[in-house]
Amino acid sequence: MAGSAARQGQGRALGYVCATGAGDDQLARERVAIKRCCSEHGLDLAQVVHDVDLEGRDQRPSLVWALEQLAEHRADVLVLVRLHDLSANAANLRPLLTWFNDEHRRLIALDLALDTATEGGQLVALANARVHDRGRTSVADIPELQDRIARMRERGMTLQAIADTLNDDGVPTLRGGALWRPSSVQRATGYRRPSGARGIKLN
């Protein structure tokens, strides 16, 4: 996996913008942001394509074209200003995010600082996919997140330190909370304190 151009921060990138209006100002600003991102990541930006979706109908032929380029290995990276540009429909977002969890495809979304070339970015994408898919989600539904939390605990990290790390990486909570907390990390791992231990402060 480490050998792919997409995962090494190299390769051919495509930018995509879903404009919500007919004006050119939004497109110009977002093209600049995408070009800057590619320059910072050492990516070769081949083209920025866009759709105009005034009514949220999710009809995005330019996005379909960009995804086809990645599927056919004619491009390695898709750069978005907003993750929402992938789809206005939450039901469609999950399979797209899961599709990008592949060594030959990389997704960068600037609004969430999401980059699937990193472990944290992969977890953000997977967690977003599950959260958008259905209401109640547990860490068991995301084995990669479960494994990462387990590794952090094995290294002796406290629940607070794990929560801080997940928050810093932008991993969304699984029950809709604003931030990971020691208690939510504890619940996510399935651990329950003995009844006699209630009132003890979480580490």
pLDDT score at 177:
61
How far apart CA 117 and CA 109 sit, in angstroms, is: 12
Query: Looking at the domain that runs over 1-134, which CATH code has it been given?
Result: 3.40.50.1390
Cα–Cα distances (Å) from 164 to 53, 54, 113, 189, in that order, read 37, 38, 16, 16
pLDDT digits (tens, 9 = 90+) for 108-158: 999 888 898 887 777 777 666 665 555 444 554 566 677 778 888 888 989
pTM for the structure as a whole: 0.64
pLDDT digits (tens, 9 = 90+) for 94-110: 778 888 878 889 999 99
pLDDT score at 14:
98
Q: Looking at residues 83-90, what average pLDDT do you find?
A: 81
How far apart CA 172 and CA 196 sit, in angstroms, is: 31
Tell me the domain boundaries of the chain. Answer: 1-134, 136-191
